[in-house]
Structure 1
């Protein structure tokens, strides 16, 4: 069974009353897309990075001409200095805003489920009671999940996000709890959770076998895929920086939250490179619309007039 952990999307909850299950590990920052970036197959990653995940779903159902019309409106909003061009910086800002919007909507989607007394705050007691009520109130459950361990991990993360230590989260603190990978003061808990999930022998490090085992587990004599050889080389040359055969906390942090890599910057450079027909380092409206398939284009060509349209369009 192959598990590509570097493209896992992290969700603490996406519905109320369900504790975090296995694979609540956080890798890298909040992802720009749930898809892998592979333009040879499709532009799904680019669509979600540029539009945001929810808006991309709407565009996926639009006919080509409607996609182009809406894209033209977006271009006007992206052009911050109103010079008639879209720069790499303006692309980056737009992508980061789409990312922030996804995080904001994720928090808003769940807020009312946990703010039981409607005081505009969420206490640890409220979160625990909603999330683990079935486990706390009912008889012991026969399940593969260790709910006691899961609740303890959630409490540890909640305490890390709770900057004033009152075990009551405002919107900012609850956002840090749900999306710790985007907050500097949460990096330690991100690393802790990652290492706890991968460090099978409990020695406080991630060795090569644990690193590979988290990505691939052979079943029924299944042969290893070829890409594992590249991962072993990555481990030796880039992950294990001090060459002691294992990753410590600092090396794990560099792996999952690399300080020198920004996904929004990389995506902005990619979109610019793919769309800049005259190679002048900036995009015109025509250059973007000509590559609407890269930015917003849908595989659907005729969805019909019944599609609900957002007010901004």
Structure 2
């Protein structure tokens, strides 16, 4: 689903926060949960992406570090992680224990993201970030109208001024106590709104803006496909991919509930943030299915190590301090 969120802060590098165009680079909006991974879980052909599982299991930063270890060291550390997941120390990992670990990883990702950006945003060091602080640090280098009118996202035709307006609107929603400044918790909601109840409407609204090219308040099947298969890709390869027809069928049969040929906001919400879909439950079930060799609906350490590639990848995987940096679980 939803978002990618962290896009490059053009010209300013890591010292600044970034515009929150969360969905701008995502082709997999359905069940979008970027807190688990910035990777697509499935490509447009519905082929599974194992990198999603690695980031969901380890976190984005740790997954990258894992890729630098030798296979032997990677397996050794995976075994240590398995011991940590087995919280009651009975020698097996249940789906609930696996879900708790994935939820912990997702929460850690949000906290680390906030901690990384916070010192550069809380300019006066008072423990809050105001809108002026965020705007000045993110867009302050733009000094004239021409710069603000430059296109930030060519596919969705969003200018920097559009992004400022969008960020200010999201800021106001994330500011839950309406005191015109954000705490660290509120800033986490601002950056990662998908799992926050009071932020879900803004996720739907931003997605509608991204896809609704004629601004009539609805998404047609052509707008839907254009979001998944943008013009830039069509120019490179004009032959229609096989998955496009399948997506059109999905739109007509499952997305368009009232069969009027377009999606309204309610239908869009049911698609990108379905109420009956638990992404952590789904990921835990997927990992369990892939690694449960004896089909006893739980995992032992040997099964996890046997299916090393499912959890952390099969490549040589400087992850060395992961277990020591994150002992709080």
1:309 to 302, 314, 320: 320
1:94-113 counterparts in 2 under 5 A? 94-113=101-120
Residues 222-250 of structure 1, C-alpha deviations (whole Å, 9 max, x = no match): 12111001100110111111111111111
Is 2:155 the partner of 1:144?
no
Is 2:173 the partner of 1:160?
yes
Structure having greater relative contact order (Cα 8 Å, sep ≥ 6): 1
1:1-313 counterparts in 2 under 5 A? 6=1, 9-11=4-6, 15-17=14-16, 20=19, 24-25=23-24, 27=29, 28-37=32-41, 43-135=50-142, 137-138=143-144, 140-141=146-147, 143-145=150-152, 146-216=159-229, 217=231, 218-219=234-235, 222-300=238-316, 307=318, 309-310=320-321, 312=323
TM-score (norm 1): 0.88
Distance in 2, matches of 1:104 and 1:287, equals 31
Distance in 2, matches of 1:57 and 1:298, equals 13
The 8 Å contact of residues 174 and 186 in structure 2, kept in 1 or not, is answered as: yes
Structure 1 unaligned blocks of 5 or more:
1-5, 302-306
The 8 Å contact of residues 10 and 24 in structure 1, kept in 2 or not, is answered as: yes
Query: Shift of the alpha carbon at 1:72?
Result: 1.4
Distance in 2, matches of 1:95 and 1:221, equals 38
The 8 Å contact of residues 62 and 322 in structure 2, kept in 1 or not, is answered as: no
Match of 2:155 in 1: none
Equivalent residues, number? 302
The 8 Å contact of residues 131 and 171 in structure 2, kept in 1 or not, is answered as: yes
Q: Relative to 1, partners in 2 of residues 1:131 and 1:259: Cα closer, same or farther, differing over 3 Å?
A: same
CA RMSD of superposed structures (Å): 2.5
Structure 2 unaligned blocks of 5 or more:
153-158, 325-329
Q: Relative to 1, partners in 2 of residues 1:310 and 1:268: Cα closer, same or farther, differing over 3 Å?
A: same
Query: Shift of the alpha carbon at 1:311?
Result: 6.8
The 3-state SS of whatever aligns with 2:146 is coil
Query: Shift of the alpha carbon at 1:144?
Result: 2.3
Distance in 2, matches of 1:160 and 1:41, equals 34
The 3-state SS of whatever aligns with 1:140 is helix
The 3-state SS of whatever aligns with 2:275 is coil
